[in-house]
Structure formats: C-alpha cells, structure tokens
Structure 1
Amino acid sequence: MSTELGMFLRSRRERIAPADTGLPVTGRRRTPGLRREELALLAGISATWLTYLEQGRDVRPSGQVLDALARALRLTAAEQEHLRRLAGGDATPEQDTPEEAAPEVAAVPALLGGNPAYITGICYDILATNAAATELFRGIEPGGNIVRWMFTEPAAREVLVDWEREARSILARLRAIAGRHPDHPRVTRLVAELTEASPEVRQWWPQYDIQFSHAGRKRLRHPRLGVITVSHTAFHVAERPEQTLVVYHLPGSTGPVARGDTSS
C-alpha cells in the first residue's frame, strides 16, 4: 500500500474540527483536527485498521470502508476519486523513459492558427507548442515544463494576472498525478526540484490539495493585447491519456476551438 494513501488520510483528518462532527471536545489536543480513534468512530471502522492504512501497510480496504472514510472526512468528488486510486495501488513499475508525442499529434497545435495551444506529458512537460503559445506564455517551449515555469520563472507572475490561484490549481493537479503515479521517476524528481526551488511549493504541497483538470477562463497579460480574459479547454490524446492538448481562445484569433471538459 502506498504511503501516499496514509499521507492523504492524515492531511484530511487534520482539517476537520471535532466540534464540526458533533464529537465532544475534551482535554488539550496536541494535534489539529480529528484523532485517529475519532475518525475510526465516525467511519465505523477499527482504530487499528485506520492506523494500518495511515502507516501504508499492505492492507486492502474495501469499497465500503473507502466510502465510509470519504463520508467521515467530507471529501469532495475529486478527493473521493483520488482516495480510490490511491487505495487501488499500482503494481506496474513506472519507466523513466523520454516522453514524446506522436508526429501526427505534435502537429496539431500548429493547425490552430492564432489560438495558443500546446501538448503536455504526464507531469506537464511541453511536448509540442505553437507560435501563439510561445508568444503568450513567454519561455514555454518544447522541452520545458509548465509547473516549473509557473513556480520558477518571473514571467509566469507577469503573464498570469491571478498567479496564486493558478499556481495553487496546477500544484493541486500535480498532487493528483503524483498520487496516481507515486513511483514515477520524473514526477518524483519534479516534486523534489520544485520543493527546493519554491517557498510556495514548500508551504502548499503538505496541504495536499487535490484537483482534476477542467475547462474554464483565465486572466492573462498578453504582450500585444494587454490584460485579457480567455477561455481554455483541453483534450486527452487517444491511447495516451496522460498526454493532453491544451487550447486557449484569444479574442479575434483564427482557427476553430471546441469546448471540452478538461484543462491545463
């Protein structure tokens, strides 16, 4: 069982005040949130079983146990999905091999005219991009990484008007990826690099925020158009679901953009 599951359960347990669950508050508490025995009581499981889960021991919780924990911890839909993925484990060793987009996929961003578009890999490495994206997201080119750019490049804070919101969002999505691929060498290296380089990552990563991608709107500072609000969407590549085509629709840009259900 992955230690990620234990870390996730503890982080959510510590966010819930006993008074909010109807439990009596007695004595001085050394740690925030619920104690293990309190969460076990709310979920209807044994405290020993919960301890095993939080310690990452090789136990397999049933769907009923996971549902009970999700209710007791008041998990969002995204967090419930993340919990189930963590509990399922991953027996296949992750490979540290270079990631590439197929030539026919890599050619798509260039077909989208003035709409900034790029393709990302498993941990937001840029696999392909177009001229409009290079102009807007200054410094993002094939071989770069969106999350690294977000936290280490001064240009990111200039381009993204609501930088903190966007930075928290992409870090929460990286957290979800790390949960799905806890042993992936490139994901692990990226998290370690960001933790060393960014005080925001050091502060936010332990909070264990989880988010899955979705379409939406962002405020961006364009070098020619000034501050603009743009819609964005993304599409997972068939047969390579960890690769994603991300498209932004600029005011007055050329090229068709269809609305989808995921985002960068």
Structure 2
Amino acid sequence: MDDLAGFLRTRRSQVDPAAVGIPTDSRRRVEGLRREEVAHLSGVSVDYYVRLEQGRATQPSEQVLDALARVLGLDATARGHLDRLARQRHHRATAPGGRVRPELLRVLDLVVDAPALITNHQLDVLAGNRLAGLLFGQRIPGLNTARHIFLEEAERGLYADWEKCTLDVVGHLRLAAGKHPGDPRLASLIGELSMGSDRFRRLWARADVRARTHGRKAYRHPLVGLLELHQENFALPDESGMELLILSAAPGSRAEDGLRLLAGLGVDSGDEPSTANAQVRQ
C-alpha cells in the first residue's frame, strides 16, 4: 500500500527547488528536487539516498529521518508517517479488530442531540446513534464513508464541502496504510477506490497524509437543507484504530434547528434506528 521508497520519491517531486534555495532556469527538466539535491540538503551521501529510494538501505537513523523531513517540508503528521514507513520492515503491524464493546454502544445511545459514530481506520462505520442514521439517510451497517464520498456521492450530494472531504479521506487512508501495512481489507479498499474514482487515484498519487481531529463539516440534507456542524474525533484508548466522532451544532444556530427538525422527521416516519443493531461484523 505504501513504502518508504515510494513516499520519498513522491514527496521529492513536490518540493519547489526555489523554496530550499536551489536556483532554477528554463533548462531544468526535473519535477521537484533531484536525488543528489535531497542528499546534499539532508547531509547524507548520494549513494545512501539512492539506496533509500530503491528500498535497499538499512534502517535509517532518527537524525536522517529528521533531515529528510526538513528538506521535504513534512509536517508533524507526515513526519510520523515517514518514521512508520522506515520501521515497517522490522515491525509488521497487524490489523486491529472491529467489534465494538456494548458499553460503547450505550454511550452512543446517550448522545441524542447530535449525530455520533464509531469508525475504524478503514472508515467503516461500526456503530452509530439514531441521528447518524437519519443524517446519512441509511442504516449504519455497511456504510463506509470513503466509498460513500468517492463512489456513491460523485456529484457531491450530501457533502457540501466535497472536495475538502476527499482530501481528508485520502490523507487519512494514507496515514492508516502506514500504521497497518499488513491489513488486506485496507489494501482492498484502496484498490477499489483507485479503480472506481479518478479523483481518488490522483490524490493518492500525491502521498499526502492527514490526521483527523476536529473541524467544520457541512452537509446538504435533502429534507432539512444545509447543516453546518462541528466534528470532534476522539481516539478510543482500548480499541486500536477506532474513533468516536460527534457532529455538534452551535447553540442557537440554523444547524441546531435543522438537527431538531431531522430528529422530529425521523419520529414522524417511524424510523427509530438504534445502536443495538447498528454494528458491522468484521
């Protein structure tokens, strides 16, 4: 899914030479930095850097990784990803399990005024509360937000910030690929998205990584209109790779009224999904 050599090649091609003090002219035909330029700027031999890009070098030191991260302009998230790729050969991670504890399902049921989900690193929604089902317009079992965004919502649909959502999803999956290199289900999902979406394929080739923590999420719901919500991600300490996501509305906002209306529409239609049967078996 991802390896150190491929990551270095891709990120090297994205560095503007002028940004690192290398003059350019119209005769330059290389996209980004040359290998010898990366080696010089990071303080390693050209031969060693070439072997890194060919996957033949021994495990690089922290000092080398720090220097490469500086030259390639990696942020903290991408620097951590670089470190995991460098250690993959020695630490082959296994895919975490996908069962949600009953106690966590009860926690979801306590969240009644905001959509709440539990997802795994593959972006499968493992469980969700009643409002989450109403927001996405379907029962939670079987929902994968990456497929939903790239393959089922190609015309943007539900996602008001569709382009930003695609960047977040690809960045998350790239990060997950570094954390779980031996996960066949993740590899299969990435292959499926690459085959089914030109945009996914283009974004994946950029090798960007992103950590989801919090931020604005906007949805265009067909019944209640625009919902501008705030998403908070909480990593579950006892469930490797799982996160609790809560989508809240600001007090007194139009979105708060929209969620209240959405909840009422669900009651009127007799749709009462619960977390008790909203869990995916892995």
Q: Is 1:142 the counterpart of 2:141 in the alignment?
A: yes
Q: Is 1:113 the counterpart of 2:104 in the alignment?
A: no
Cross-structure match for 2:91: 91
Cα distance in structure 1, aligned partners of 2:227 and 2:218: 6
Cross-structure match for 2:80: 81
Larger Rg: 2
Cα distance in structure 2, aligned partners of 1:230 and 1:144: 20
Cα distance in structure 2, aligned partners of 1:27 and 1:122: 44
Residues 81-230 of structure 1 aligned to structure 2 (within 5 Å): 81-89=80-88, 91-92=91-92, 94-95=94-95, 99-139=98-138, 141-154=140-153, 157-230=156-229
Deviations 1:99-147 (A, max 9, x none): 2111222332222113111111121111111221111123461232111
Cross-structure match for 1:56: 55
Q: Secondary structure at the match of 2:241?
A: strand
CA contact (8 A) 1:121 1:243 kept: yes
CA contact (8 A) 2:118 2:244 kept: yes
Cα distance in structure 2, aligned partners of 1:208 and 1:140: 33
Deviations 1:160-214 (A, max 9, x none): 1110111111111111111111221111000001001111111111011110011
Distance 1:93 1:161, change over 3 A: closer
* Alignment-mate amino acid for residue 69 of structure 1: L
Cross-structure match for 1:43: 42
Q: How many residues of Structure 1 are paired with residues of Structure 2 in the alignment?
A: 252
**Post-superposition offset of 1:217:** 1.2
CA contact (8 A) 1:126 1:146 kept: yes
Deviates more, 1:80-89 or 1:203-212: 80-89
Cα distance in structure 1, aligned partners of 2:3 and 2:154: 32
Q: Identity rate of aligned residues, in percent?
A: 38
The gaps in structure 2 that reach 5 residues or longer are: 250-255, 261-282
Cα distance in structure 1, aligned partners of 2:172 and 2:151: 17
Q: Secondary structure at the match of 1:242?
A: coil
CA contact (8 A) 1:124 1:145 kept: yes
* Alignment-mate amino acid for residue 55 of structure 1: Q
Distance 1:169 1:140, change over 3 A: farther
Distance 1:58 1:41, change over 3 A: closer
CA contact (8 A) 1:221 1:227 kept: yes
**Post-superposition offset of 1:98:** 6.3
Cα distance in structure 1, aligned partners of 2:21 and 2:154: 48
Cα distance in structure 2, aligned partners of 1:65 and 1:215: 32
Cross-structure match for 1:260: none
Cα distance in structure 2, aligned partners of 1:153 and 1:139: 13
**Post-superposition offset of 1:18:** 2.3
Q: Which has the higher contact order (CA 8 A, sep 6+)?
A: 2
Cα distance in structure 2, aligned partners of 1:132 and 1:237: 21
Cα distance in structure 2, aligned partners of 1:51 and 1:107: 53
Cα distance in structure 2, aligned partners of 1:215 and 1:93: 26
Q: Secondary structure at the match of 1:118?
A: strand
Deviations 1:9-67 (A, max 9, x none): 11111111323322243784443011100100000101111112112225111111011
Provide the TM-score with structure 2 as the length reference: 0.82
Cross-structure match for 1:7: 6
Cα distance in structure 1, aligned partners of 2:55 and 2:190: 20
The gaps in structure 1 that reach 5 residues or longer are: 255-264
**Post-superposition offset of 1:3:** 5.7
Q: Secondary structure at the match of 1:168?
A: helix
**Post-superposition offset of 1:223:** 3.7
Q: Secondary structure at the match of 2:192?
A: helix
Q: Secondary structure at the match of 1:67?
A: helix
CA contact (8 A) 2:42 2:67 kept: yes
Distance 1:118 1:156, change over 3 A: farther
